[in-house]
A = this chain, B = another copy of it.
Amino acid sequence: MRLPSPSIQETNVRGVRLFEMPCSVDPNRGRLTVAEVPHGLPFSPQRCFLIFGVPTGQTRGQHAHRTCSQFLLCTHGECRLLVDDGTQQAEFHLDRPTLGVLVPPLIWSTLRLHSADSVLLVLASVPYEEEDYIHDYADFLTLVQLPTP
């Protein structure tokens, strides 16, 4: 069954978008939610990773990417995602598998998983490259505040 396109909401943080993904609900067979290239997922992932077993109260992330876009969704449990473009910040509460967040490059993001059985799925637009990561917030601010040439 072909599902409709997601409902996409802009946010106050540059390029960050919320996706309410379509969901098929069948009382006998359960639920299915989908993200499909190009409308439901704006890139074809080159890397997919899961974060899980994070002790309550611990954070992950706290970095930005130079070129990588990411699409994040909480497949079980709950998590809070803080995003920051250097000027504007926002916090999202990911509490259902149908809610995805698109995080473009040059967005500082921080993640808090609600409990150790929460699971975050990250679909990434490029393969892993250590050089793509910006781990220092001051470096991040310098990069995003460069004037356009």
Report which A residues bind B (CB closer than 8 A): 1-3, 25, 27-37, 41, 44-55, 58, 60, 73, 75-77, 97, 113, 116-117, 119, 121, 123, 127-128, 130
Contacts and interface: CB of A to CB of B under 8 A. Distances in A.
A75 B2 contact: no
Contact of A60 (B30, B46, B116, B121): B30
A79 to B, nearest CB: 11
A47 B35 CA distance: 6
Number of copies: 2
Contact of A119 (B25, B97, B113, B116): B97
B51 A30 contact: yes
A91 to B, nearest CB: 20
